A and B are shown apart, each in its own frame.
Chain A
Amino acid sequence: MIRAEWFYWLVGLIFVVMAGQMAVDRSNPKRWGSAAFWGLLGLGFGYSSFVVSGHAPAQPLGVAVLVMVCLAGFGFTGRGQQRTTSEEERQRASDRLGGKLFLPALTIPVVAMVCAVLVKKVSIGGQPVLEKGSETILGLGIGAIIALVVGLIVVKERNPGVALHAGRGMLESMGWALFLPQLLSILGAVFTAAGVGDQVGKLVGHVLPHNDTFLAVVVYCVGMALFTVIMGNAFAAFPVMTAAVGWPILIQQMHGNAPCVLAVGMLAGFCGTLCTPMAANFNIVPAALLELKDRYGPIKAQLPTAGGLLVCCVGTISLFAF
């Protein structure tokens, strides 16, 4: 059986190798800080296996996370000069290779799809080939590896190191923003452990008038969206707002349909995600990847849609949950 943990080890290994490349890259004025940041991330991916299985304490990993936060937060990471091709070279290469260039890029989704739909059902000796529940993630990994091989063949490149260097260039241009989503999930876990939801619940209980269903729905949906805007993560906002309004007021007090309230409530949070730079992986990382001068460009494009959808969420719960 191919396990998700193997895949995490592979991703960790790639981070460590790229960190090694950064350490010897003299064009990067902050090469040691960058190498330490990505190296710790890679090592953390491997160490996490033992934390998940309960064979190692989680505290050292917590220390590593804080060190990474300090490295990036106090500006110890940077980027080197990109070792890449010029626009003319790219133009010539695309004339030579033509449509074949799309083949490796399309290999990733096709393999991921095949793994998630077909390989998922294959088992050898009663054991599924791909770990249950991780088929899509594993498909992405397998797809990326096959795509790399196909890519090397298509562009007739014998040295896989070229691809690794190209990938590192992209990693450096995205920078620490790549780690923010994971840190936000961690913040959500801390909020839950510290009981932030219960406190918000007490607050809202004092303020909200009884038996006004529509107002309670508005508070729940807008609250989800606002909390998500603040935290950049609907997953982190969900336990807070559900403990505060969703469960005690909408479901227990007003007898709302629980699946409707909770599923649509989560989507109201997603409306908030569309509007916030804190959701770096969805809003800032794309801007960085597309090399936009206006980092808030994608958010501006999404704002009116998010507003309209929030109204749809309030409407759906108000009309159908009670």
Chain B
Amino acid sequence: MIVLLGVLVVVLGFATKRNPLLVVGVAGIVTGLLGKLSVSQILATFGNGFASSRSVTIFAITLPVIGLLERNGLQAQARKVIARLSRLTTGRYLALYLLLRQLTAAVGLSTIAGPAQTVRPMVGPMAEAAAERRGKVAELPDRVREKVLSFSASADTVGLFFGEDCFLAVGSILLITSLVDASYHVNLEPVQLALWAIPIAACALVIHGARLLWFDRRLDRELAAAAAEAQPAAVTTTSEETAR
């Protein structure tokens, strides 16, 4: 029972806003010691864990080319392109991206898009530009801009999470089959698991897609509110001019 104190370390460390790396590191050591692992075993668990989890960190390989393109105006160009796609609103554009992200992840192509690969260089700036066009402003108010970018990130993440599990050779599916095999000696086929992910993937598309489409209306309200806040003086002047 005492081994659960390790979980408590994570909760407390996080609740008190300590550095997450430190919290997780300490929780690992504490859990290992309480679970009566030797220091050498704990270090070996840390080492083996590192070696088998490297694939999580490899997206760093795309940083040089993305950095190079950004130096040369990739985001500026993305804004120009969306400026031409005048019929796509922020919500429709993000809903379309959500669908594409789900479909590509469902065929195992989960690494072709992501925050570094697509959201920062393309999806975010494009959604932002569409919102600027809708609000007829040169630059979005900070609060609205943050919301647009947050929803851009959410379209990517929801699309990935609820697409990739429909694929047979994805980590979560393989984790389930290997865990059941190792712990309970039962053989499950990956395809049985992937099939059950499809109804939830459809729910995700409906729920988040609808929220993205509704986001357009919310954007209108927020932009109107921001405009009213920013320019009460301008409005007064205009009405005075009309009066004269």
A259 contact from B3, B69, B196, Cβ within 8 A: B196
* Interchain nearest-CB distance for A267 vs B (Å): 5
Please measure, in the bound complex, the distance between the C-alpha atom of A253 and the C-alpha atom of B116, giving whole angstroms. 45
B35 contact from A60, A183, A193, A234, Cβ within 8 A: A193
On whether the beta carbons of B172 and A266 are closer than 8 Å, the reply is yes
On whether the beta carbons of A14 and B72 are closer than 8 Å, the reply is no
The tally of residues in B whose CB lies under 8 Å from a CB in A reads: 123
* Interchain nearest-CB distance for A249 vs B (Å): 13
Please measure, in the bound complex, the distance between the C-alpha atom of A178 and the C-alpha atom of B166, giving whole angstroms. 26
Q: Is A245 an interface residue (CB 8 A)?
A: no
On whether the beta carbons of A193 and B157 are closer than 8 Å, the reply is no
Query: Known contacts A97-B73, A230-B10, A305-B208: does B165 contact A263 (CB below 8 Å)?
Result: yes
- What are 30 residue pairs bridging A and B, where the CB atoms are less than 8 Å apart in the complex? A11-B54, A41-B57, A62-B44, A73-B19, A92-B73, A93-B73, A94-B80, A98-B77, A101-B74, A105-B66, A145-B61, A163-B65, A167-B65, A183-B21, A186-B46, A186-B49, A187-B27, A187-B49, A194-B31, A194-B36, A196-B31, A203-B4, A238-B175, A247-B184, A266-B175, A267-B162, A274-B161, A290-B124, A301-B153, A305-B211
Q: Is A23 an interface residue (CB 8 A)?
A: no
Chain A, interface residues (CB within 8 Å), range? 35 or more
* Interchain nearest-CB distance for A173 vs B (Å): 10
Contacts of B135 in A (CB 8 A): none
Interface 0/1 of B83-96, CB less than 8 Å to A = 00000000000000
Q: Is A216 an interface residue (CB 8 A)?
A: no
On whether the beta carbons of B71 and A278 are closer than 8 Å, the reply is no
Interface 0/1 of B11-26, CB less than 8 Å to A = 1001000011110110
On whether the beta carbons of B57 and A196 are closer than 8 Å, the reply is no
B158 contact from A97, A181, A285, A305, Cβ within 8 A: A305
Q: Is A122 an interface residue (CB 8 A)?
A: no
Query: Known contacts A61-B46, A186-B49: does B161 contact A292 (CB below 8 Å)?
Result: no
- Nearest B-chain residue to A264, judged by Cβ: B196
Contacts of A278 in B (CB 8 A): 10, 14, 20
Within 8 A of B (CB), among A63-122: 63-66, 68-70, 72-75, 84-85, 89-95, 97-99, 101-102, 104-105, 108-109, 112-113, 116-117
Query: Known contacts A60-B47, A259-B192: does B14 contact A282 (CB below 8 Å)?
Result: no
Q: Is B48 an interface residue (CB 8 A)?
A: yes
Q: Is B137 an interface residue (CB 8 A)?
A: no
Q: Is B224 an interface residue (CB 8 A)?
A: no
- Nearest B-chain residue to A283, judged by Cβ: B157
Contacts of B62 in A (CB 8 A): 108, 140, 144, 147
Contacts of B193 in A (CB 8 A): 259, 262-263
A85 contact from B22, B72, B179, Cβ within 8 A: B72
Interface 0/1 of A142-180, CB less than 8 Å to B = 011101100110010100101111111111000011111
Query: Known contacts A190-B49, A263-B194, A316-B199: does B6 contact A91 (CB below 8 Å)?
Result: no
On whether the beta carbons of B46 and A65 are closer than 8 Å, the reply is yes
Query: Known contacts A15-B60, A193-B35: does B24 contact A105 (CB below 8 Å)?
Result: no
Task: Give the B-binding residues of A (Cβ under 8 A).
Answer: 7-8, 10-11, 14-15, 41, 44-45, 48, 51-52, 57-66, 68-70, 72-75, 84-85, 89-95, 97-99, 101-102, 104-105, 108-109, 112-113, 116-117, 133, 136-137, 139-141, 143-145, 147-148, 151-152, 155, 157, 160, 162-171, 176-191, 193-196, 199-200, 202-203, 230-231, 234-235, 238-239, 242-243, 247, 258-260, 262-264, 266-267, 270, 273-274, 277-278, 280-283, 285-287, 289-290, 292-294, 297-298, 300-302, 304-305, 308-309, 312-313, 316
19 further contact pairs, Cβ within 8 A, besides A57-B44, A235-B175, A263-B173 = A7-B61, A41-B57, A58-B48, A59-B44, A65-B46, A66-B25, A105-B118, A109-B117, A144-B64, A190-B28, A190-B35, A247-B180, A263-B194, A266-B172, A270-B165, A285-B115, A287-B150, A289-B115, A301-B154
On whether the beta carbons of A235 and B25 are closer than 8 Å, the reply is no
Q: Is B55 an interface residue (CB 8 A)?
A: yes
B203 contact from A57, A194, A309, Cβ within 8 A: A309
Please measure, in the bound complex, the distance between the C-alpha atom of A186 and the C-alpha atom of B147, giving whole angstroms. 33
On whether the beta carbons of B69 and A62 are closer than 8 Å, the reply is no
Contacts of B207 in A (CB 8 A): 305, 308-309, 312
Please measure, in the bound complex, the distance between the C-alpha atom of A237 and the C-alpha atom of B150, giving whole angstroms. 26
Most buried by B among A144, A231, A235: A144
Query: Known contacts A51-B47, A52-B52, A148-B68: does B154 contact A230 (CB below 8 Å)?
Result: no
Interface of A is mostly: helix
Please measure, in the bound complex, the distance between the C-alpha atom of A133 and the C-alpha atom of B151, giving whole angstroms. 33
Please measure, in the bound complex, the distance between the C-alpha atom of A273 and the C-alpha atom of B121, giving whole angstroms. 24
Query: Known contacts A141-B58, A163-B68, A305-B204: does B45 contact A190 (CB below 8 Å)?
Result: yes
On whether the beta carbons of B58 and A136 are closer than 8 Å, the reply is no
B21 contact from A15, A69, A133, A297, Cβ within 8 A: A69
On whether the beta carbons of A61 and B151 are closer than 8 Å, the reply is no
Contacts of B58 in A (CB 8 A): 7-8, 11, 137, 140-141
- Nearest B-chain residue to A188, judged by Cβ: B49
Contacts of B133 in A (CB 8 A): none
